[in-house]
Amino acid sequence: MMLELIRKRRSCRKFTEEKLTQEEIDQLLKSALWSPTSKNNRPWEFVVVDNPDTLEALSQCKPHGAAFLANAPLGVVVLGDPGKSDVWVEDCSIASIMMQMTAESLGLGSTWIQVRLRLDEEGNTAQENVKTTINAPDELEVLGILAFGHKAKEREPYSEDVLLWDRVHFGKM
C-alpha cells in the first residue's frame, strides 16, 4: 500500500557494497521518465553514476551533506533545462521523489542531496562542481543528486505521533 511505503521511507546514508541490478536501475529511471511535468514539457536529464571515482568527486561538490555519496553504489544526478520549462525545479523534484519512492518499493534506500543554491567552501556553486564532473552542458541546471543502494540498516518508520495536523487547514486558515 502506498501510504505504508511513504511511512517507511527514511533517508538512508549508509549502504552495503551490493550493487543494484540493471533491472532495479531501469525501474528507478522508468519512474522518473513517467513522472508528470508541467505542459508535459519533460525538461529533465538524468545522469546515472556508478563509477567510484565519479561518485567520490560528486561527494565533494559541497562541504556538508554529500560526503556519504562516496560510499553509495549508485548516484543519479537530476538536471533541468530552464529553456524547456520555467517550472523545471518542480518537474525535477517530482521525478526525484518518484525515484525515491520506487527505490523504497524495491526495498532499496535513498537520500536526496541538495545541489541547487548550495556553495562549496571557496564560494563556488555546488552545481558548477557537479557540472564539471559529469560534463554537463552550460544550458542545464542541477537540482540535486540522489544516492541509492541497499540499506546497511533499517531505520524506524514514521509514527502517527509526528504528523503535524496543526499544519492542515480546512476551508480557511
Ligand X SMILES: Cc1cc2nc3c(=O)[nH]c(=O)nc-3n(C[C@H](O)[C@H](O)[C@H](O)COP(=O)(O)O)c2cc1C
Q: Which DSSP letter does residue 141 get?
A: E
Give the residues lining the site for ligand X (CB under 6 A).
10-11, 13, 65, 111-114
Residue with smaller CB distance to ligand X, 47 or 126 = 126
Residue with smaller CB distance to ligand X, 82 or 157 = 157
CA 27, CA 34: separation in Å to the nearest integer?
10
CA 51, CA 38: separation in Å to the nearest integer?
33
Distance from CA of residue 82 to its chain's centroid?
19
Least separation in angstroms between residue 158's CB and ligand X is 7
Angle between helices 88-105 and 22-33 (to 10 degrees): 140
Residue with smaller CB distance to ligand X, 25 or 67 = 67
Burial class (CB in 10 A: 0-12, 13-18, 19+), 137: exposed
Least separation in angstroms between residue 18's CB and ligand X is 21
Residue with smaller CB distance to ligand X, 121 or 170 = 121
Q: Which residue is nearest to ligand X (CB)?
A: 65
Least separation in angstroms between residue 147's CB and ligand X is 8
